[in-house]
Chains A and B, each alone.
Chain A
Amino acid sequence: SQQGEEDPQALSIQEGENATMNCSYKTSINNLQWYRQNSGRGLVHLILIRSNEREKHSGRLRVTLDTSKKSSSLLITASRAADTASYFCATDTGSARQLTFGSGTQLTVLP
């Protein structure tokens, strides 16, 4: 079963715009991670945020975590066509090697 939901399910924006995706989960977590997947290929790790952190940055990515609301958001700034992919949040509640994934957001960046 999936830990939570992501919204929107699909997002279409113009190159240069910012993209925001949200993830909600159901149980207390240790870590929350974001992954990207291109066209049914393997997952690429983007960023990890621990339960005691509230915000984290990596390049054009900004992740926030609100454990009281059991939610996280991923912001991609100045998007590029190459950012077109599916984005998944994943949580772990004990073992970081046993991830529970959200349903994913399909992001399309139009040139």
Chain B
Amino acid sequence: KAGVTQTPRYLIKTRGQQVTLSCSPISGHRSVSWYQQTPGQGLQFLFEYFSETQRNKGNFPGRFSGRQFSNSRSEMNVSTLELGDSALYLCASSPERGTDTQYFGPGTRLTVL
């Protein structure tokens, strides 16, 4: 099976802009979670989607949002970008049953100038 894919891999934006990141889970996986990784805060959970519904949400401002489509692909959006949003954004997928393991994609490196 193909792994989790994320696009784009690298992105440069300026403050105030918005950005959309995409994640395609492993075939058959219906749960998609997003994480932000920064040198200062480490790895932090953003949100999780299952069957097109947000099931869990981390402690991030409303500028961070996401959605999931019927084919389980997910997007996350960050509006009004701030310098502090520069990070590696990781997406993970997992099946609903059989394992609690999450499988991570390679990440999208976002730089905000």
Contacts and interface: CB of A to CB of B under 8 A. Distances in A.
Q: Is chain B a partner of chain A in the same complex?
A: yes
Contacts of A102: 42
B66 interface: no
A30 B42 CA distance: 21
A98 B58 contact: yes
B94 A97 contact: yes
What is the interface residue range for chain B against chain A? 20 to 34
Residue among A40, A44, A102 with max Cβ neighbours from chain B (10 Å): A40
Interface residues of A, number: 26
A45 B90 CA distance: 14
Nearest to B3: A42
B42 A104 contact: yes
B86 interface: no
Interface in B57-74: 58-59
Interface string A51-68: 000000000000000000
B24 interface: no
Contacts of A41: 106-107
Contacts of A97: 31, 33, 48, 50, 55-56, 92, 94, 102
Nearest to B32: A97
A48 interface: yes
Interface string B27-62: 000010101010001111100101000011011000
The 5 closest A-B pairs by CB, nearest first: A96-B100, A101-B43, A43-B104, A42-B104, A42-B106
